[in-house]
Structures are given as structure tokens and as C-alpha cells.
Structure 1
Amino acid sequence: MNARTRTSSALAVALPALLLVACAGGERLPAAVQGEAPSTSAAPPAQTFTCPADQQEVGDLAPKSYAPDGPLPSPDDLPAGSTMAAIRASGTLRVGVSADTLLFGARNPQTGQIEGFDIDMLKEVAKAIFGADDDTVYDLLDIVVIPYSQRIPKLRSGEVDIVAHTMTINCVRWQQIAFTSEYYTSGQRVLVEATSSYQSIDDLAAAQATVCVPDGSTNQENLARDYPQITAVAVPDISDCLVAMQSGAVQAITGDDTVLAGLQVQDPATKVVGENFSFEPYGLGIAADRVDLVKFVNALLAEMRDDGRWQAIYDDWLAAALGPQSPPAARYGRTEG
């Protein structure tokens, strides 16, 4: 039995999925996902959210989350009436993920399962709620495959309980949903063809180049704000960008360094260039009115930092592509109301 997997309707018009998968040394290299049956649930109407002037930048405030109420309770001792108890009673944890972000969330064509760093984070949440083991935990995930632009709407509509999708914590998003403490720190860079002469985002701006970027991402916001000379091509998912660059429709792709590392594994005839030009702290997204679940997951993340589980997951998925790294420290201080 496999976890139930649904796909957001926004993916129905995606470009043909990339199936370039480089295999070396027997490492797991899941391919980009192809089209799947769409989910048709409606999201709340669009609204405009703004932040106070002193909170416009990510800075130090945005990654601060709600402190845990105490040690992580056991699965058999979840607080009565809590979000966690309701999820346990439902029988599945509804999760919003990517299925084409290699290393973070991508479908393994051999097993059919979606795998990666983000997926393993969600497995730990499911274990903490259901008491499942490694062999059964995937079956407890009710997976909803979503593009970048639907991460917040799917949480606000109640279709998913939690989103793990390389999602940057920032002030504007805090006005719409809640975040756990930071579980990974990334930064925005550029991917080009291996033979390209472009060496940085500034080179692309000077040439008024055409650059692909995921729609609804902070990468798109950063590009529009800081590099207006560049013509941005926004697509639902990052694998669409790789197809666009391979076809010559764009000269480069910009995204988080973590995501670009996965694309480079898929297509070794590419290279990541330049320094990070943004700060992208990742959090697990949760609905704003489920603060108890945020605190619960924060207690879990604290355990994982301390007992080595975070490090083991990082080493399994990301160390080979991104080098040694330790878990980011938790930052608390956000209050309810």
C-alpha cells in the first residue's frame, strides 16, 4: 500500500516533465514527476497582504516561531481536543509537497513514492503523531502535490495540514499562515548551461537576459524587485524551468541553491554560478489558527536537532550536493494574538 497522492489542478497545464536522471555510484536519483490526476478543491479568494516597513525584509524577525509548550508528548498522550489528536483520529496526515524537486521532494520512478529531505521531515511529524515505524509511516501521508503558488492557498483552504515545499519564511507569509522554526537555510542563486559565459545574476541583468523562475516563489519576488532589467518567465514548477532552458527559451534559471543543486544532478550539462543573493530560511507551513500544531512540530524539530535525526536526514539527501551543514538554530519569541 502506498500513500494516497493527489495533484493540484494548477499542474494540469505544466510543461512536459523532465526525465533526465543521472545515476552515479548507485545513489537514489528520483526523476521529475509527470502529470497526475488533479485535485479540484477551491482555495480562498485572493487577498493583498502587506507588512510594516520595519518588517519588510526577512531579517531576524521572520524566522521566529512559537516556542514549544514543553517536551514532545508521546503519540498516546496527545492533548485532548488538539489538532494533533484530530489528525491522529483521521488516520492520515495531509501534506502539501513538490514531486519534481530532486533531493527535496521528487517521485522515485522505481518505487512510485515521493522522496527527499522535505518528505523525510514530514515522515518524522507523522511518526510523532501516529507512533508509526519507518516501514509504515509513508502510508500515513495523504500527499497533495502542489506548485509553488498553491502552498499558502492549500493551507488556508484546509486541504492540507502541513506544507513541506522549500518554503521561505517571511513577513508577508506570516500574515496568511504560520511557520515552524527554521529547519533549513538556503539562498538564491543561478543555474546556466555548462558552456554559458554568464557568471552571476549581475551578468544576466547587464545582458537583459531571459530567466526562468517558479511562479509564486520568493525567488520571483526578489528578481522583480532587485533585477528589473531581466525578463522573467514564471512557470508552475522548477522542473519546467529546466525544460525551458534546455529548449533555449531562457538563458538561465534562478531559484534556491538547494533546488538548483537538484536540477544540476538531473542535467550535468549545467552549472550553478555566482554567490547567494538572498537569505531563504525554510519553515514548515501550517494554518495560522493551528498554533498547537506549530508548537508540537517545533518540539519535534528541537528533538531532531539534538538527537542527530536532522543531521542523518541531511547527510542522506543533501550532503553530497551541498556539502557539510549543521541544523539551523531554532528562534522563538512569536506570541499568539
Structure 2
Amino acid sequence: MKSIKRIALGIGLLFFTFIMTGCGEAAADVDIAERIDEQETPILNWGVKADTNLFGYYNIESGEVEGFDIDIAKALTEEMTNGTGEAKFVEVTSKTRIPLLKNGKIDGIIATMTISEERKKEVDFSDVYFNGGQSLLVPEDSEINDIEDLTEDHTILAIKGSSSTQNMRELAPQVNVLDLENYGEGFVALQSGQGDALTTDSAILLGMIDTNPDYRLAGSNFTDEPYGIAINKGQENFLDRLEKALETIQGNGVYDEIYDKWFGEILPADSPNTASTSTTGAANNAPENEGESGDNQ
């Protein structure tokens, strides 16, 4: 009798798994652009970070996820649905975001995701919406203003195992690189004078500056790691609508309003080293080199 029950339970679990997988596949196969047109109140589900300061973080007081990525997603939803839609958010991590996209749980990923050739094999990307890249964090009174200022007398703090460490050793082989376990340790080491600069992705460094205004970025990014919005392959109509919406908000001032809301005091949209991709920002910060640090992406 127990054996029969176990077999029945196993069949039941297998059937449940099949149904859930099938539902995910069905949801992923839906033409999102058609769904937007058919729904009276279209809902777009965006995968976002909830632990990345300035881009996407959970605000305990409001009980909501807030940040640059969230506001951009809302603006794109508004544009793509002619003001009738609603943006909803699902927390993702670097490991879960593509699987959630593939099974139809989310319609798009806007979560500090670097565009790379390897990822293009799995997803389609929008145009760049944030000019990410590796940079240097230094105290306000530092004499370092660019990677070119680094000498053999400088110690650069980096995160153990990250490609930021490898990039620094390749691009500035004359400096001493001190590897630490995590960003928290790295920033404490910078505060205590164990190093002259901390290097990692500029998005992470901007988040540090937001809570520590006595620090700044030293010049512009020295690697090119642009962020894109990822969607499932086979969603050409949705991608086209997304591209047009992104182009619209980058050109009509909405994008830079959002950009300056989150980064204006640190790195304004009209500054020479801006990460903005609006008409103004793109002209000031055209990418030169392509790389991928992968620290936060």
C-alpha cells in the first residue's frame, strides 16, 4: 500500500512539475506587444535589483523598490502603453534574472545588466540606457584624476576574484593592487588609508558616493560596459516598441530628469564624464573601448 502511495505521489509531483513548466513556457511564448494592445490596463513585469543603491533598492519606509532602473521602467511602460499601463516589479539577482525571463515570469530585465556577446546568445538587448564601466573611487582631495595619473607609488584596492583586479593589472601594471574580500572591506580600507583608490564598476562606486559625499570618481570609466534592457528572443515587436520608447524618453527630457534625480549631485547628465545616454549625455560620453568587469553585472 505504501509503495502504491509513493508511486501515486511521484506521479502527482511529476504532473505538477509538467503543468508549471508548461505554464511558464506558455507565458514566455505570448507576444508581449499583442498582449499590451489587447489588455485594457496593460501590465509589464520588470525584473529589477532590490539591493543596489541608486539603481534598485528596497526602501523599508515606503515598502517599495526604488531607484533609477525602477523609474526608467515606469517611464518606458508609460510610453509603450500610451499612459494606460502599469509597471510591476519582480526582484532578481544576477543568477535568477535570465531564468525568470525565459519562463515568462518577467517581460524584461532592467537591472544593471551589461550587454555582452555571450548574453546575446540567450537574450535580446535594447540600446544602451546607462554607460557603465570600471572606474576609480578616491577621496575628494586626492591628486588622482584619471587612471593615467597612477604610478608605482600608488596602491589600488580591488575585490578578490573580480575582473576589475585583472583589468587594473593589465591597464596599470605599475601599481600595487591589494585584493580584498568584498566592497565593504574595500571601502573601509580606502577610508583608513590602506590604498589610494578603490576600483570596481562605476554603478557600485556611485552608490558609495551617495552615502559618503567626501569621495568622488577619478575621471571617466576606463572600460566600456554599457547596460541594456534584456528581453526574450522571439519578441521582435516588443523589442521594437521598447527601442522606440527608450529613444523617445532619451530625446524629450524624461530620461535626464530621472538621471539627475538619482545621479545629479554626483555625476550630472550634462557633465563631461556623465553616464547618461540621452542626446546630451551620449555626445559627452561616447564609448571608446569595450570590456566587461562583471562585478555587479
TM-score, normalised to structure 1, is 0.56
| Residue matched to 1:84 | 33
Matched residue of 2:226: which SS? Answer: strand
Q: Deviations over 1:67-115 (max 9, x none)?
A: xxxxxxxxxxxxxx63133367596422221223332222333312222
Q: Is the 8 A contact 2:158 2:165 kept in 1?
A: no
Structure 2 vs 1, CA of residues 112 and 205 (structure 1 numbering), >3 Å: closer, same or farther?
farther
Q: Deviations over 1:29-75 (max 9, x none)?
A: xxxxxxxxxxxx99xxxxxxxxxxxxxxxxxxxxxxxxxxxxxxxxx
Q: Which amino acid aligns with 1:119?
A: I
Q: Is the aligned partner of 1:211 residue 2:191?
A: no
| Residue matched to 2:218 | 273
| Residue matched to 2:101 | 155
| Residue matched to 1:264 | 209
Matches within 5 A, 1:166-185: 166-185=112-131
Q: Is the aligned partner of 1:301 residue 2:250?
A: no
Determine which of 257, 260, 263 is the counterpart of 1:318. 263
Matches within 5 A, 1:9-88: 82-86=31-35
Q: Deviations over 1:185-208 (max 9, x none)?
A: 233202256688877668599867
| Residue matched to 1:99 | 50
Q: Which amino acid aligns with 1:117?
A: F
| Residue matched to 1:245 | 186
Structure 2 vs 1, CA of residues 198 and 183 (structure 1 numbering), >3 Å: closer, same or farther?
closer
| Residue matched to 2:11 | none
Q: Is the 8 A contact 2:156 2:199 kept in 1?
A: no
> Aligned partners of 2:139, 2:161: CA distance in 1, in Å?
18
Q: RCO (CA 8 Å, sep 6+): is it higher in 1 or 2?
A: 1
Q: Which amino acid aligns with 1:277?
A: F
Matched residue of 1:280: which SS? Answer: coil
> Aligned partners of 1:294, 1:109: CA distance in 2, in Å?
33
Structure 2 vs 1, CA of residues 213 and 302 (structure 1 numbering), >3 Å: closer, same or farther?
farther
> Aligned partners of 2:98, 2:262: CA distance in 1, in Å?
25
Q: Is the aligned partner of 1:125 residue 2:76?
A: yes
| Residue matched to 2:90 | 143
How far did 1:299 drift? 1.2
Q: Is the 8 A contact 1:144 1:160 kept in 2?
A: no
| Residue matched to 1:113 | 64
Structure 2 vs 1, CA of residues 188 and 164 (structure 1 numbering), >3 Å: closer, same or farther?
same
Determine which of 283, 292, 296 is the counterpart of 2:237. 292
How far did 1:274 drift? 5.0
Q: Is the 8 A contact 1:213 1:253 kept in 2?
A: no
How far did 1:297 drift? 0.4
> Aligned partners of 1:210, 1:82: CA distance in 2, in Å?
47
Structure 2 vs 1, CA of residues 96 and 152 (structure 1 numbering), >3 Å: closer, same or farther?
same
Q: How many equivalent pairs are there?
A: 239
Q: Which amino acid aligns with 2:112?
A: T
> Aligned partners of 2:215, 2:78: CA distance in 1, in Å?
38
Q: Which amino acid aligns with 2:105?
A: E
> Aligned partners of 1:204, 1:98: CA distance in 2, in Å?
36
Q: Is the 8 A contact 1:100 1:107 kept in 2?
A: yes
Deviation larger for 206-215 or 263-272: 206-215
Structure 2 vs 1, CA of residues 223 and 294 (structure 1 numbering), >3 Å: closer, same or farther?
farther
Q: Is the 8 A contact 1:94 1:144 kept in 2?
A: no
How far did 1:225 drift? 6.7
Q: Is the 8 A contact 2:53 2:207 kept in 1?
A: yes
Q: Is the 8 A contact 2:134 2:222 kept in 1?
A: yes
More helix by share: 2
- RMSD across aligned positions (CA): 4.0
Deviation larger for 269-278 or 286-295: 269-278
Q: Is the 8 A contact 1:94 1:143 kept in 2?
A: yes
Unpaired segments ≥5 residues, structure 2: 1-19, 22-29, 271-276, 284-297
| Residue matched to 2:133 | 187
Identity %, equivalent residues: 27
